[in-house]
Amino acid sequence: MRRTSVLFVAVILIASLVLGACAKATEAPAPTEAPTEAPVVTEAPTEAPTEAPTEVDPWADVVPAKEIVWWHQHTGEAREAAIAKIVSDFNATNEYGITVTAEYAGSYGDIFNKMLPILNTADVPDVVVGYQNQVATYQLADAMFDMNELIDHPKYGLTKEEQEDFFPGFFAQDVLSLFGNQRLGLAPNRSMEVMYYNMDWLTELGYDAPPTTPEQFKEMACKASVTPFSGATEGAASPTGYELSIDTSRFASWTFAFGGDMFDYTTNQFTLNSDAAVQAWTFIQSLFADGCARLVTENYGDQSDFGNGTLLFSVGSSSGLPFYGDAVEADGTPFAWSVGAIPHTTADPVQNVYGASVSITKSTPERELAAWLFVKYYTSADVNAEWAKASGYFPVKQSVAAKFQDVFAADPAYKTAFDLLKFGKFEPPVPGYDFVRDNVIEPVMTNIVDDPTADVKALLDQANLDANAILAEQMAQIK
């Protein structure tokens, strides 16, 4: 009896739920309201001076602190050794008697999560590694030191030549327009998105050079998808022209290559739906629709497919150069490969560059000055060359090229990528960017490539609204 009762209850309940669901007419989603513009931090207007200002150097009497702490994320024998040497050299040679203690504080994410609860407390390190968007998040709490205070200082700052020695894109990356152009970091190293290509396969397909335009890229990719490479590993996946990983950095790379940007630094708003972005992603959509591209199937699956000779083109970080090399060598039948600029519609290539910078937390002038002196040393040309060689990252100083002839000779692909550094452009250094990347841009990328009939413009329009809404929420935190 009881079982029957339960059964009846279940049937009636399901029926009523279905009834209720049916009764509720489905309505088209109301258009999302345009978000209010993200507020920009502007300095309070200063009153017109009545007298000629007397230049007072606020740093004149500041004596650098003797001990400071640096949190970094570098692991691996070579990088750890290089960090230890840089720090010990600085400690031994700096004229102020500053001692830096370098502490491994976990991954970028770990450091970010550790920093948030201790912002503006005595527990923060003096120097910290962080991506620009992470540092922007710290600055929502007004917790970071604006390096503009010292960068041009006659005694402690960088000379004009030293500033101009930075690759322009790298130098500009840490100046945050959302925070009144405060400089919240300085770049010690960078990576860049490049196109990896299988030159032997291209030759078999009848081409003598990698593509430079999207049209050429598509033609080659489509041809490769139906023409297997003779050197492909047996039993590997079927051939394809291009594999896309759902990663916002790919979104940026292709959008930049079509002449667009993801952010308007004058209005401080996302521009994910720019004409260039729509063109770029309509192009990628057509690659998938025509069977010339597919998604990356597992972590670093594009590297292994490239190594197996079943993938003609891949777009990824230059930090993957040694891993692509290993993948090509893995089965004992290496082929000729290299890297090049992402095929572009612009006159010159536009390359997505990224990397964490070193930033200084707000504390006392003494600690801030000591931290700055270390950052200045760490990013100086000689040290930068030493660090880039040990770490495998790209240096940030143009003059380093002269010291890198041996590296270029040993690794021509590295040289090719190095020559593209001057075309660097970067992703938006704004708070909440990680959330936008994962929750807005990557779902849109999936929708575009999954559905050949998807309206790219409409999807990007909505993504742009969502991204700007998130940015507005983030900036509303500033008191």
Partner 1 sequence: MAENTVVHQSRRKTLKLIRLQEQLTGYLFILPALIIILIFGIFPIGYSIYMSLFNWQVTKGPFIGDKNYLLIFGSWWNLLVLVAGLGLIILGSLVWGKAFQSLNNGQRLAHIAGALVLILGGVIFVTGWGMMYETGNKDFLNSLIVTVYYALGTVPAEIILGLVLAYILYQDIVGKEAFRMIYFLPYITPSISTAVVFQIIFSSRETSLANRLIGFFGVDPLKWRFEPKPVLKLLGVNVSGLAGGPSLALLTIIIFGIWSFVGYNTVIFLSGLGNIPKEIYEAAEMDGGSKWDRFWHITIPMISPVTFYLTLIGFIGTFKAFNHLYVMRTPSAQDTVITTSLLVFDRFYKANQYGVATAQAIVLFIVIMGLTLAQNKVMGERVFYG
Which residues bind to partner 1, rule: CB under 8 A? 1-2, 4-5, 8-9, 12-13, 15-17, 19-21, 23-24, 109, 113, 116, 119, 137-138, 140-141, 235-238, 246-247, 295, 297-299, 301, 431-432, 434-435, 438-439, 442-443, 445-447, 450, 470, 473-474, 477, 479
What is the closest distance, in whole angstroms, from the C-beta atom of residue 87 to partner 1 in the complex? Answer: 30
| Closer Cβ to partner 1, 331 or 473, answer by number | 473
Least distance to partner 1 from the beta carbon of 465, Å?
15
Q: Is 474 left (phi over 0), alpha (psi -120 to 50) or beta?
A: alpha
3-class SS at 374? helix
Least CB distance to partner 1 at residue 74 (A):
22
Contact, 471 vs 38, CB < 8 A?
A: yes
Q: Cβ of 123: how many Cβ atoms within 10 Å?
A: 12
Is 257 in contact with 344 (CB distance < 8 Å)? yes
Bridge partners for 316 per DSSP? 194
Output the smallest distance, CB 447 to partner 1, in A.
8
Q: How far is the CB of 429 from partner 1 (least distance, A)?
A: 16
- Residue whose C-alpha is closest to residue 143's, from 452, 361, 415: 361
Q: Rg for the chain (alpha carbons), in Å? A: 26
Q: Which is nearer to partner 1, 128 or 385 (CB)?
A: 128
Token pair for 273: 């739906």
* Residue owning tokens 């948030």: 116
| Least CB distance to partner 1 at residue 26 (A) | 8
Nearer to partner 1, 40 or 237 (CB): 237
Q: What is the closest distance, in whole angstroms, from the C-beta atom of residue 127 to partner 1 in the complex?
A: 20
Indicate the residue among 65 and 470 with the shorter CB distance to partner 1: 470
Beta carbons within 8 Å of 49's beta carbon, 6+ residues apart:
none
Q: Which two tokens stand for residue 452?
A: 């050949």
Q: Which of 24/155 has CB closer to partner 1? A: 24
CB contact set of 188 (below 8 Å; sequence gap of 6+): 357, 358, 378, 379, 384, 387, 396
Give yes or no for a contact between 218 and 283, defined as CB atoms under 8 angstroms apart. Answer: yes
Q: Are 83 and 385 in contact (CB under 8 A)?
A: no
Nearest residue (CB) to partner 1, 12 versus 409: 12
| 259 neighbors 276 (Cβ within 8 angstroms) | yes
Work out how close the CB of 476 gets to partner 1 at its nearest, in angstroms, rounded to a whole number: 8
Q: Which is nearer to partner 1, 434 or 461 (CB)?
A: 434
Looking at the Cβ atoms of 65 and 296, the one nearer to partner 1 is 296
Considering beta carbons, is residue 249 or 338 the nearer one to partner 1? 249
Give the nearer residue to partner 1 in terms of CB position, either 184 or 370: 184
DSSP string for residues in 46-111: PPPPSSPPP---TTTTPPPPSEEEEEE---SHHHHHHHHHHHHHHHHH-TT--EEEEEE--SHHHH
Query: Closest distance between partner 1 and the C-beta of residue 88, in Å?
Result: 35
- What is 204-252 written as a DSSP string? HTT-SS---SHHHHHHHHHHHHHS--TTPPTT-PPPEEEEE---HHHHH
* Tokens representing residue 28 in the block: 């088209």
In whole angstroms, how close is the CB of 7 to partner 1 at the nearest point?
A: 10
Quote the least distance from Cβ 159 to partner 1, whole Å.
Answer: 36
If we measure between CA atoms, which residue out of 280, 197, 279, 283 comes closest to residue 241?
197
C-beta closer to partner 1: residue 59 or 300:
300
- Which C-beta is closer to partner 1: that of 139 or that of 274? 139
**What secondary structure does DSSP assign to 2-63, as a single string?**
HHHHHHHHHHHHHHHHHHHHHHS---PPPPPPPPPPPP---PPPPPPPSSPPP---TTTTPP
Rounded CA-CA distance 400/384 in Å is 8
Beta carbon of residue 295, minimum distance to partner 1 (angstroms, whole number): 6
For 71, list phi and psi in degrees, rounded to 5: -95, 125
